[in-house]
Amino acid sequence: MSVAGNTDSPMYVPEENRKIARERAGRHVEMIRDYLEVRDRIPAGFKLWDRFQESKLRILRVLNGTESDWKDYRWHLKHAITDTKILAEIVDLSPREMQDITQTSTQYRWQISPYYASLIDPQNRDCPIFKQSVPTILEYLDTEEIPDPYAIVYNSPAPLITRLYADRLIINVTNICAMFCRHCLRKKDISQADMIYPREDIRAAIDYVAGCPEIRDVLITGGDALALSDDYLDWILAELGKIPHLEIKRLGSRMLATLPQRITPDLCAVLKKHKPIYLNTQFNHPVEINPDSERAVDLLIQAGVLVGNQSVLLKGINSDKNVMKKLVHELLRIRVRPYYIFNCKKLQGIRHFRASIQDGLNIMENLRGYTSGLAVPTFIVTAPEGKGKTPIAPAYLLNINRNGKVLFRTWAGQVCEYEDEIPEQQSAH
């Protein structure tokens, strides 16, 4: 018998209560109405797949490559686009734009993987892929001087190490990336010759970790950790695996977004040997998420690697609450957990990408409660001078007093008074 008319069923709900529930659900739907109206108009990679395939064929013609080359990440690295004339055969560029790119490249290096170039909308200057990959004169004209936002001189106790916290640290293994993102916070490292750091320096970094029993978590990054060969990565992970107090290894790589072909069965066989491994990547816009990225994530998951996403809040790219909501939904769809949204640092050459902290708060306000908790990342403002990541969230707690009375507001804006327990420390006195 259906639960609808069965008053003995624990799931029985009287019709008048159902009516109240339906009205309530309707009010909640109205709260996301603006998103529902625009969500299908926000460009997304799964829908743009046919256009990407056309671009791929054009790029293969320009670079004289084949379909099988396209599947090979080494071909993409070897044929990374660094020449304005070649770029102009792929994207419609005016003579002025070509001149600007050339001028900006005297200050900042640029490079785009053929794969990432295939995601560019060739005529649209608002294309989020174009903005992240093609240099603009605004970089060159930004002379705000913050030479070392990581304050690396005070945070590197051993070669290649950045240490900002008590129980975890970074080993920087390379400055190579598949693409040099225009908003990169490591612009100054990237703007040098390509370097995979030598074994003796990495050995010294691993020895430092071995000598610090409090370190339980190491992040291998660069540049891009997956710019290393499978063998070199295997060696580093194996050496780290010999350190008894090290509980987890993390990899920092943007290749899921910029060169998903790098995620091969061979690489995954290496990663599978060294669990637990977490990989944090950086998707910044739903256009970057498509069947290629999904295939790459599937391979990683089969190898037991857990994938999280760290977006950078980028003005005019993802600083819109609905675009960010679409992004986190698309991430979950391919089984990537939204982890952080970083604000853009005050670094020379990226000022035009910087959105305000208030913009970030508006995005967070529009996520928490308005969508699955699993889709809600933490908004992080990186404190100056290497003082660490600071989570910033809308204020839900309005007041808390000694007598256990707590005043807060819900995600939907209702103010509630809550009778809490007396805090333990206080009741003991």
Contacts with ligand SF4 by CB under 6 A lie at 177, 180-181, 184, 186, 190, 223-224, 254
Q: Which is nearer to ligand SF4, 135 or 246 (CB)?
A: 135
| Closest approach of ligand SF4 to the CB of residue 54, in Å | 26
429 exposed, middle or buried (CB, 10 Å; 0-12, 13-18, 19+)?
exposed
Q: Which is nearer to ligand SF4, 227 or 303 (CB)?
A: 227
| Closest approach of ligand SF4 to the CB of residue 190, in Å | 5
| Closest approach of ligand SF4 to the CB of residue 186, in Å | 5
| Tokens describing residue 77 | 């690295």
Short-list 95, 90, 94, CA closest to 80: 90
| Closest approach of ligand SF4 to the CB of residue 353, in Å | 11
Q: Which is nearer to ligand SF4, 91 or 181 (CB)?
A: 181
Q: Which is nearer to ligand SF4, 176 or 246 (CB)?
A: 176
Alpha carbons 59 and 42: distance in angstroms, whole number: 25
Alpha carbons 236 and 171: distance in angstroms, whole number: 10
| Closest approach of ligand SF4 to the CB of residue 220, in Å | 13
Q: Which is nearer to ligand SF4, 156 or 174 (CB)?
A: 174
| Closest approach of ligand SF4 to the CB of residue 176, in Å | 8
Helix (H, G, I), strand (E, B), or coil: what is residue 367? coil
Peptide bond into 223 cis (omega under 30): yes
Give me the helices (H) in 93-169, please. Answer: 95-104, 114-117, 128-133, 137-141, 152-155
* Tokens 């705000």 belong to residue: 144
Q: Which is nearer to ligand SF4, 246 or 355 (CB)?
A: 355
Q: Kindly list the distances between the CA atom of residue 346 and the CA atoms of 85, 185, 253, 388, in Å, as whole numbers in the listed order.
A: 32, 9, 22, 15
Give the list of residues 6+ apart from residue 143 with CB closer than 8 angstroms, or none.
Answer: 348
